[in-house]
Amino acid sequence: MTVEVGQPAPDFTLRDQHGQDVTLSAFRGDRIAVVLFYPFAFSGICTNELGAIRDDLPSFVNDDVQLLAVSCDPMYSLRVYAEQERLTYPLLSDFWPHGEVATAYGCFDEQLGCAVRATFVVRPDGILAWQVRNAISEARDPADLRRVLSDLSGSGHTLRSVTNR
């Protein structure tokens, strides 16, 4: 199953690194949600990507935007990872049922047992506004996401889809 730009984003509830439930629809009517899937905590590319977001956090977590980073790692691993890397935004565990949310978004790699590198921007009305998919070995450019968030926050609701492979 693949979610398409212009469709409602699949709702979910996952636990963050502190064991707290986080529900996507809780941000409806309030903020843009960025659902950022990454393959593995503690891996080089993922750590660099999530660190770049940490280093420019006000662009990704503010009154208009909430970042939700999702992997299939267990919650306790994500807690250690967040502490080690000083990641203060929600790291959500899609561990069990394994990869269920990543599958709903069409970005679960069955062979590797992990989410692929994909980002989904959900408007406050719950509609998917933008998505990008990168190869697991290819890092995302946070500048692309900043541009999309700026467009959505300032001038209406642009809808687009990008695939980088």
Q: What is the pLDDT of residue 1?
A: 59
72 backbone φψ class: left, alpha, beta (φ>0; ψ -120 to 50): alpha
Under 8 Å CB-to-CB from 136, ≥6 apart: which residues?
39, 45, 109, 112, 114, 116, 117
- The 8-class DSSP code of residue 147 comes to H
**List 46, 72, 107, 114, catalytic entry:** 46
Q: What is the pLDDT of residue 95?
A: 97
Fold of 13-163: Glutaredoxin (3.40.30)
Give the residue extent of every domain in the chain: 13-163
In angstroms, the CA 43 to CA 14 distance is 21
Residue spans of the chain under pLDDT 70: 1, 154-165
In angstroms, the CA 41 to CA 46 distance is 7
Q: What is the pTM of this model?
A: 0.91
In angstroms, the CA 74 to CA 58 distance is 27
Q: What is the pLDDT of residue 165?
A: 42
Structure tokens at 4: 């398409």
* Cβ(47)–Cβ(80) below 8 Å: no
Q: What is the pLDDT of residue 157?
A: 46
AA identity, residue 148: V
Q: What is the pLDDT of residue 77?
A: 97
72 is catalytic: no
Write out pLDDT tens, residues 78-113: 999 999 999 999 999 999 999 999 999 999 999 999
- Prior bond of 97 cis (ω within 30°): yes
In angstroms, the CA 53 to CA 148 distance is 15
In angstroms, the CA 117 to CA 143 distance is 16
In angstroms, the CA 132 to CA 164 distance is 7
Q: What is the pLDDT of residue 2?
A: 77
Under 8 Å CB-to-CB from 53, ≥6 apart: which residues?
36, 60, 67, 69, 89, 142
Q: What is the pLDDT of residue 153?
A: 80
